[in-house]
Amino acid sequence: MSGRSHPRRRLAVPATAMLVLALGACSGDDGTSITDQMRQGDQKGYVQGDGSIQQVAAADRDEEVTLEGTTLEDEPWSSTEHAGEVVVVNVWGSWCGPCVAEIPALVEVESAFREAGEPVTFIGLNSRDTVPNARAFEKKYAIPYPSLQDDGGRTRAQLGSLAVATPTTLVIDGEGRLAARVSGEVEASTLRGLIADVLADGTVEAGGDGTSR
């Protein structure tokens, strides 16, 4: 991942996804932004996704995504350590009905790619739960991949308007760029297809030897 900046972004965003992006600029009735409300840790400003899917062709990707934080097990985690892999980020909260509903799909897809030995890493990003509650939730549903702690919204804020809705699932390519996003509950077939497309687009290293697929 490079630290270069881009004068403008050329995301191939369908009209339905544009509506979701527009919500990022909304304010609450008390004048605070959605990001401010996330940091407050209450349910005010909660935006539920509409299920829209955004997919960006490899040639058009210039939205770089860098995410780092501390896992629920108090371990540091950074997306930069997974360069050359597909990174799937799922923003969730135990209080969010669609988040609960999509767990079987996420677990199914993560397990399938992991067992196949594919360079795919899943990371959850918790929103508004305490660490004990979030860990209990993961244990209850046997979620096999780690999640980042909520820290008053600061970690989630790194994603900016890409993760206004809860849940949101981002697919990041091997060069650290946004390749796809699902705003709202994701289905297994949809997520599997989005990841497979990135594995085949030449941005992901095979076997960790620097050879692109």
Give the predicted TM-score (pTM) of the model.
Answer: 0.77
Residue type, 103: I
The yes/no answer on whether domain 15-208 falls in CATH 3.40.30.10 is: yes
Residue 210 corresponds to which tokens in the numbers above? 């620097």
**pLDDT by position in tens, the chain (length 213):** 444 333 333 333 333 333 333 333 222 223 333 334 333 444 444 456 777 999 999 999 999 999 999 999 999 999 999 999 999 999 999 999 999 999 999 999 999 999 999 999 999 999 999 999 999 999 999 999 999 999 999 999 999 999 999 999 999 999 999 999 999 999 999 999 999 999 999 999 865 443 334
CA–CA dist 54, 183 (Å, integer): 8
With vertex at residue 188, the alpha carbon angle to CA 10 and CA 71, rounded to the nearest 5 degrees, is 75
